[in-house]
A and B are shown apart, each in its own frame.
Chain A
Amino acid sequence: MSTDASNRRVVVKSLFGAAGMFAFAIFVLPPMYDLFCEITGLGGKTGDEYTAVDVRVDTSREVRVRFVASNNASMPWVFKPTQDSVVVHPGEPTEITYFAHNVTDEDMVSQAIPSLVPNNVADYFHKTECFCFENQPLAAGDQADLKLVFIIDPDLPAGVNSVTLSYTIFDITDRVADPIAQL
Chain B
Amino acid sequence: MAHGPATLADGWRAYISRWVFTTNHKDIGTLYLWFSFAMFLMGGAFAMVIRAELFQPGMQLIRPEFFNQMTTMHGLVMVFGAIMPAFVGLANWMIPLMIGAPDMALPRMNNLSFWILPFAFAILTSTLFMEGGGPNFGWTFYAPLSTTYAPESVNFFIFAIHIMGASSIMGSINIIATVMNMRAPGMTYMKMPLFVWTWVITAFLLVAVMPVLAGAVTMMLMDINFGTSFFDAAGGGDPVLFQHVFWFFGHPEVYIIILPAFGVVSQIIPTFSRKPLFGYSSMVYATAAIAFLSFVVWAHHMFTVGMPIAGELYFMYATMLIAVPTGVKVFNWITTMYKGSLTFETPMLFSIAFVILFTFGGFTGLMLSIAAADMQYHDTYFVVAHFHYVMVAGAVFSGTAAIYYWLPKWCGKMYNETMGQVQFWVAFIGFNIAFMPQHFLGLAGMPRRYADYGLQFADWNMVSSIGAFIYGGAQIMLLYNVIATIRNGKPTTEEKTWEGAEGLEWTVPSPAPYHTFAKPPEFK
Contacts and interface: CB of A to CB of B under 8 A. Distances in A.
Interface residues of B, number: 37
A34 B214 CA distance: 20
Contact of B105 (A3, A73, A168): A3
Contact of A26 (B109, B173, B218): B218
B176 A21 contact: no
Most buried by A among B234, B235, B241: B234
A113 B177 contact: no
Contacts of A15: 173
A30 B177 contact: no
Contacts, number: 97
A22 B162 CA distance: 11
Nearest to B234: A168
Interface in A168-183: 168, 170
A34 to B, nearest CB: 8
Nearest to B307: A42
A16 to B, nearest CB: 10
A25 B214 contact: yes
A30 B236 contact: no
A25 B245 contact: yes
Interface in A38-83: 40, 42-43, 45, 70, 72-73
B306 to A, nearest CB: 6
A18 interface: yes
- A-side interface mostly: helix
Contacts of B484: none
Contact of A19 (B180, B211, B233, B245): B211
A24 B207 CA distance: 13
Interface in B157-198: 169, 172-173, 176-177, 180-182
Given A37-B238, A113-B234, A170-B234, A3 B245 contact: no
B212 A21 contact: yes
A113 B236 contact: yes
Contacts of B237: 30
23 contacts: A3-B181, A3-B182, A6-B180, A10-B105, A14-B169, A14-B172, A14-B207, A18-B210, A21-B209, A22-B215, A23-B215, A24-B212, A25-B211, A25-B214, A25-B215, A25-B216, A29-B215, A33-B244, A43-B238, A115-B233, A120-B308, A168-B233, A168-B234
6 nearest A-B pairs in the assembled complex, by CB-CB distance: A25-B215, A22-B211, A21-B211, A168-B234, A10-B177, A25-B212
Interface of B: 105-106, 109, 148, 169, 172-173, 176-177, 180-182, 207-212, 214-216, 218-219, 230, 233-238, 240-241, 244-245, 248, 306, 308
